[in-house]
Amino acid sequence: MIEPTIVWFRDDLRVDDNPALVAAAERGEPVVALFVLDEESEGIRPLGGAARWWLHGSLHSLSQDLASFDITLILRRGAAQRVVPTVAAEISAGAVLWNRRYGRPERDIDATIKTQLRGSGVTCGSFAASLLYEPWEVQTTTGTPYSVFTPFWRACRELPHPRGPLPPPSSALSGFDGAVTSELLRSWELRPTSPDWATGLADTWTIGEEAALERCEEFIDDHLAEYTTGRDVPSQNSTSGLSPHLRWGEISPHRVWHAVHSAEAPAQARETFLSELGWREFAWHTLYYFPSLATRNLRPQFDHFPWPPCDPAHLSAWQRGNTGYGLVDAGMRELWQTGTMHNRVRMVTASFLVKNLLIDWRQGERWFWDTLVDADAASNPFNWQWVAGSGADAAPYFRIFNPERQQSRFDPRHRYIARWAPEYIDDDPPEPIVQIAPSRRAALRAFENVPRKQHAP
Ligand SMILES: Cc1cc2nc3c(=O)[nH]c(=O)nc-3n(C[C@H](O)[C@H](O)[C@H](O)COP(=O)(O)OP(=O)(O)OC[C@H]3O[C@@H](n4cnc5c(N)ncnc54)[C@H](O)[C@@H]3O)c2cc1C
């Protein structure tokens, strides 16, 4: 009797280096690929607009890649706890395999499904694919999670190298030819219709596994050698641009790690890049141990921060890139048009919102969540809290990015500004909505309410 294997795809929309798919091939039974759009389960954060747009393209691309193995990607919408066992029962699946997720609600869902399926005699298997190091593998000598990046990354680097990428399974994979109903991708309406705000995103990105692998290769050939200095210059295209591909798992961090580690580039450039992957690991490590990262201050002292009522005009000026500060406005417009923003400018725009406009970091985090194509459940809140000063190993609160000085330092020839906010290179630039020095002083006064030491519980 045929007992098909379901490979349940989630944040791993790729064929290359996909341990669940490799294990399915080893099982030797026909394979059904499944993706569940779960917008119902409690605790699952609804995707932002730009991420939904990306997901459409990524699922389209994955279904084409799987078709070359005669595997059909089955699309279902609904609570995963209901849908996955239903599909398993419909096709009398012998096994359901997946690559792990690390957010608390997702882990709870997966654990429940595993118990349910095992209870009905279905084999379940989960694999490590999205992170280089499982969060429980990297702990301090006292068995607690790391809260500071440098020792965290040192500990990671002292472990054996992450495993090498697994090649795509070859002829051992075969599709299931029984009937399984699938919803139509376009019926999910993941892409905007009217107005179609995503044309700039479409001009900027090529979605999918093939594009991700090409981008990785091009980055290594053309930019890795100068990464250490080039990564801070927003007008240069010197960073990898891999973040949305990593977010959706179109490329694995193992594939990227090994390609960079063995590349012919100066050791310092390679290490700097690998440590950026390390920040991604650290963000996920933090989310694993602190699941409410997007809503609660990691450092509880920050609960005492006296946020004034949010000024909607200021928030809107920031979102639209009309603050009167060239670098901030250029970044916010780059974000709106392309679904991304250079890392240096992300730090400057975030600092401006929190420390010059005194708007709670959660407002900014939500805007980025909605507009970034790489919006990531760990990296986004982690970095917002880092900038705000409330997070793990955060920049100290008094370190406030001055947008004018940042501009002279990182965009001295105004190339980035000229591209996204050209009115700032005119003689008559827009008026600032707040002055830097007094708003900075107000932020520092408010910060005095934050206790220096954590109160004993
Ligand atoms: C306020 C703020 C919000 C952010 N939100 C996100 C987010 O939602 N998703 C996201 O992937 N990154 C986020 N970042 C981190 C960083 O800005 C992006 O990862 C980076 O700009 C992506 O460009 P790249 O792929 O060319 O990076 P590269 O410089 O080529 O770096 C390689 C990879 O390392 C990882 N990485 C680099 N920097 C960081 C970092 N600081 N934290 C975590 N991972 C990092 C990314 O996966 C990136 O693709 C945020 C940063 C800030 C300051």
The dihedral over CA atoms of 308, 313, 314, 316, expressed in degrees to the nearest 10, equals 120
Which of 410, 400, 413, 382 has its CA nearest to residue 447?
400
Could you give the CA distance from residue 95 to residue 345 in angstroms, rounded to a whole number?
Answer: 46
Query: How many helices (H) and strands (E) in the chain?
Result: 19, 5
One-character DSSP codes across 142-187:
TSPPP-SHHHHHHHHHHSPPPPPPPPPP-TT--B--S------GGG
Question: What distance in angstroms lies between residue 11's CA and the mean position of ligand 1's atoms?
Answer: 17
Could you give the CA distance from residue 60 to residue 48 in angstroms, rounded to a whole number?
Answer: 19
Question: What distance in angstroms lies between residue 21's CA and the mean position of ligand 1's atoms?
Answer: 27
CB 173 within 8 A of CB 31: yes
- Which residue ranges have their beta carbon within 6 Å of ligand 1? 231, 239-243, 246-247, 276-277, 279-280, 283, 343, 346-347, 350, 368, 372, 374-376, 379-380, 383-384, 387
CB 345 within 8 A of CB 334: yes
| Residue 359 neighbours by CB under 8 Å, 6+ apart | 307, 310, 311, 314, 315, 318, 353
Indicate the top mutation candidate among 11, 374, 393, 406 to test ligand 1's pocket, ranked by most ligand atoms within 8 A of CB. Answer: 374
Q: Hey, which residues does 6 pair with through a beta bridge?
A: 32, 96
Per-residue model confidence as pLDDT tens for the chain (457 residues): 889 999 999 999 999 999 999 999 999 999 999 999 999 999 999 999 999 999 999 999 999 999 999 999 999 999 999 999 999 999 999 999 999 999 999 999 999 999 999 999 999 999 999 999 999 999 999 999 999 999 999 999 999 999 999 987 876 789 999 989 999 999 999 999 888 999 999 999 999 999 999 999 999 999 999 999 999 999 998 999 999 999 999 999 999 999 999 999 999 999 999 999 999 999 999 999 999 999 999 999 999 999 999 999 999 999 999 999 999 999 999 999 999 999 999 999 999 999 999 999 999 999 999 999 999 999 999 999 999 999 978 788 888 999 999 999 999 999 999 999 999 998 899 999 999 999 999 999 998 888 876 544 4
Could you give the CA distance from residue 131 to residue 175 in angstroms, rounded to a whole number?
Answer: 28
DSSP letter assigned to residue 28: T
DSSP letter assigned to residue 46: P
Helices (H), 223-266: 227-230, 243-247, 253-261
Indicate the top mutation candidate among 361, 383, 416 to test ligand 1's pocket, ranked by most ligand atoms within 8 A of CB. Answer: 383
CB 23 within 8 A of CB 125: yes
Could you give the CA distance from residue 109 to residue 99 in angstroms, rounded to a whole number?
Answer: 13
Could you give the CA distance from residue 176 to residue 339 in angstroms, rounded to a whole number?
Answer: 37
Q: Please name the residue whose Cα sits nearest to atom 12 of ligand 1.
A: 379
Q: Please name the residue whose Cα sits nearest to atom 40 of ligand 1.
A: 279
> Token pair 């100068």 is at which residue?
226
Question: What distance in angstroms lies between residue 239's CA and the mean position of ligand 1's atoms?
Answer: 10
* Residue 453: per-residue pLDDT: 62
Question: What distance in angstroms lies between residue 52's CA and the mean position of ligand 1's atoms?
Answer: 19
Six token digits for residue 237: 């295209």
Six token digits for residue 274: 């690998």
Domains contained in the chain, CATH given:
5-129 (3.40.50.620), 131-164+208-289 (1.25.40.80), 300-447 (1.10.579.10)
Q: Please name the residue whose Cα sits nearest to atom 44 of ligand 1.
A: 280
Count other C-beta atoms under 10 Å from residue 120's C-beta: 10
| Residue 288 neighbours by CB under 8 Å, 6+ apart | 102, 135, 145
Sheet holding 123-127, edge to edge: 73-77, 31-37, 5-9, 95-99, 123-127
DSSP β-ladder status, 31-37 and 5-9: parallel
| Residue 335 neighbours by CB under 8 Å, 6+ apart | 341, 349, 368, 371, 372
- Convert 73-89 to b/e letters by CB count within 10 Å (16 or more is b): bbbbebebbbbbbebbe
Helices (H), 372-423: 379-388, 403-410, 415-420
SS3 of 50, please?
A: helix
> Token pair 């500060």 is at which residue?
325
Could you give the CA distance from residue 230 to residue 153 in angstroms, rounded to a whole number?
Answer: 22
| Residue 123 neighbours by CB under 8 Å, 6+ apart | 94, 95, 96
Q: Please name the residue whose Cα sits nearest to atom 18 of ligand 1.
A: 343
Six token digits for residue 96: 């359901």
Question: What distance in angstroms lies between residue 277's CA and the mean position of ligand 1's atoms?
Answer: 9
From residue 272, alpha-carbon distances to 153, 260, 266, 281 in Å are 12, 10, 10, 14
Count other C-beta atoms under 10 Å from residue 350's C-beta: 25
Residues classed as catalytic: 276, 279, 307, 343, 361, 384
